[in-house]
Amino acid sequence: MNRRTLIFAVVILLGVFVAGRFSARRAGETHAPDETAATEWTCSMHPQIRQPNPGKCPICAMDLIPVAGGTGSDSGPRELTLSSAAQRLAEIAIEPVARRAVSRELRLVGKIAPDETRIREIALLTDGRIEKLFSNYEGMPVREGDPLAEIYSPDVLTAARELVIAKNAPALLQAARRKLLLLGMSEQEIERILKEGVARESFTLYSPAAGVVTALRARERGWVARGMAVVELTDLSTVWAVLDAYESDIGFVEPGQSVELTVEALPGRRFEATVAFVPPVLNDMTRSIEVRLDVPNPDSLLRPGMFFRARLDAPLKLAEGEAPPLIVPATAPLITGRRAVVYVAVPGKPGTYEGREVELGPRVGDAYVVLSGLRAGEAVVVSGNMKLDSELQLLARPSMMNPEDHGEQKQTKCPVMGGAINRDVFTDYNGHRIYFCCAGCDAEFHKDPEHFLKQMQEAGVMLEKTPEG
């Protein structure tokens, strides 16, 4: 590299360095807050503190910083105006508030259970001994008309002999036939006795319905008394699905609603069910109710004891003639405790947004029902609202965390002694109500009230107004 090229390179580098220093100085002059021109000072951690001069924060002892200007033409304590560039940086997005019918998707769990209205106990109508038990294990499927047991009964044997004797006496035949029917003998066996003319020592008990043996009440060679059940049959062509609905979901469940069920044993299969019964009493221990569903089960794929998952689209209940509810997207409200704040685009003021407290109803999917605070057609901020709220907090204006009444800064200590206040001991001064710990502090306060008020203001205490003020 020759001498001329080296000198040229040095000159270029020196020029870049000077230009960078000049730009940095200009940037600092543009963005740094002018402390000499500042008329108000605040704390970066407690923006509600406002003082006319620099100093220390009375709450955390941090150095106060000057309040930066240029926040826009804000016309109200809850309003904030942003330029187009600032809106893009804050990623502001708005959506209109509208009235529409909504439903809430409930996802619940439960267990399959037998339909109790389809459980039958097959009982004997006479005393006897079980000679043969055909349905002899639990879970055995039984069709209507299948034999359940062969039973010896002295009473049935006697009635059968009377039937044979009355075969040729029409006046007695009908009474004998009726007696055997009442003792549990079938029409087929009665006809067979009349045909053969011989009374058999035992008779067969047939199933009056189809189902599954869910309980055995007797065993072979065992003696059973009149009225005692031999087997329990359960018809599983329809089953119950019993699900737990939590207290917050009760208002969305009512009889007749359609429910979709899935079970882990049958992945990919979906079953349709109907809400059949909603109990009127809540379980105190679980804070839930056991809602009963009717589920068709013609293929017997659903078995009692299976766990299931249920999905229910429950429409919001409305009174007759009531208009659909006002709906706001779930991302719009900023919720803290019992308060909810939304930011509304101010009509006629481009880039201006107003914070507003609203009363919310239940959440329905990706939206909330608005009970008060908004009107249909208003545009609410659904993205960037937290940044708007943060800016208002820095400006010590009402926001989500800093409500208008500054409830968290209400007076709790006596300005004279520093003890806990007694709300029965107070004085009214210049439109404000000042509380004390005892009556003696009242007199001390009136000796120099401005001194004590200044101390309270520096501590960030928001004084309570008098009822007249």
Region at 146 (left for phi over 0; alpha for psi -120 to 50; beta for the rest): beta
Element (H, E) at 68: none
Mean pLDDT value of segment 282-309 = 91
Residue 134 lies in a domain: yes
Residue 248 lies in a domain: yes
User: Which of 194-198, 333-337, 343-347 has the highest average model confidence (pLDDT)?
Assistant: 343-347
* Cβ-based neighbours of 420, under 8 Å, separated by 6 or more: 412, 413, 414, 437
The pLDDT value recorded for residue 261 is 94
- Check if the beta carbon of residue 222 is closer than 8 Å to that of residue 127: no
My answer on whether 221 and 141 are in the same domain is: yes
My answer on whether 223 and 140 are in the same domain is: yes
Q: Which of 287, 315, 343 is the last residue of a domain?
A: 315
DSSP characters over 207-275: -SS-EEEEEE---TT-EE-TT-EEEEEE--SEEEEEEEEEGGGGGG--TT-EEEEEETTSTT--EEEEE
My answer on whether 186 and 164 are in the same domain is: yes
My answer on whether 151 and 194 are in the same domain is: yes
Q: Which of 315, 345, 360 is the last residue of a domain?
A: 315
- Assign 76 a pLDDT band (cuts: 50, 70, 90): low
The pLDDT value recorded for residue 78 is 77
My answer on whether 133 and 185 are in the same domain is: yes
**Residue numbers of the domain that contains 135:** 125-227
Least confident piece of the model among 72-86, 175-189, 428-442, 449-463: 72-86
- Assign 10 a pLDDT band (cuts: 50, 70, 90): low
- Assign 276 a pLDDT band (cuts: 50, 70, 90): very high
Q: Which two tokens stand for residue 313?
A: 């689209």
The pLDDT value recorded for residue 307 is 94
My answer on whether 155 and 204 are in the same domain is: yes
Residue 402 lies in a domain: no
Tell me the percentage of the chain whose pLDDT exceeds 90.
21
Q: How many domains does the chain have?
A: 5
What distance in Å separates the CA atoms of residue 387 and residue 153, rounded to the nearest whole number?
89
- Check if the beta carbon of residue 50 is closer than 8 Å to that of residue 40: yes
Q: Which of 295, 315, 335 is the last residue of a domain?
A: 315
pLDDT, the chain, mean = 82
Least confident piece of the model among 34-43, 107-116, 293-302: 34-43
My answer on whether 374 and 389 are in the same domain is: yes
What distance in Å separates the CA atoms of residue 340 and residue 359, rounded to the nearest whole number?
7
My answer on whether 209 and 272 are in the same domain is: no
The pLDDT value recorded for residue 402 is 66
- Assign 25 a pLDDT band (cuts: 50, 70, 90): very low
My answer on whether 249 and 307 are in the same domain is: yes
User: Which of 52-61, 316-325, 407-416 has the highest average model confidence (pLDDT)?
Assistant: 52-61
Q: What is the pLDDT of residues 226-254, one digit of tens each?
A: 888 889 999 999 999 999 888 888 878 88
Residue 187 lies in a domain: yes
The pLDDT of residue 444 is above 50:
yes
My answer on whether 210 and 135 are in the same domain is: yes
Residue 109 lies in a domain: no
Residue 51 lies in a domain: no
My answer on whether 133 and 159 are in the same domain is: yes
The pLDDT of residue 292 is above 90:
yes
The CATH number of residue 264's host domain is 2.40.30.170
Determine if the pTM surpasses 0.75.
no
What is the DSSP secondary structure assignment for residue 404, as one 8-state letter?
A: T
Mean pLDDT value of segment 65-74 = 53
- Check if the beta carbon of residue 391 is closer than 8 Å to that of residue 77: no
- Check if the beta carbon of residue 43 is closer than 8 Å to that of residue 60: yes
What distance in Å separates the CA atoms of residue 462 and residue 411, rounded to the nearest whole number?
7
Q: What is the pLDDT of residues 355-408, one digit of tens each?
A: 888 889 888 888 898 988 888 899 999 998 888 888 777 766 777 666 654 444
My answer on whether 276 and 348 are in the same domain is: no
Residue 86 lies in a domain: no
The pLDDT value recorded for residue 30 is 36
* Cβ-based neighbours of 24, under 8 Å, separated by 6 or more: none
Residue 385 lies in a domain: yes
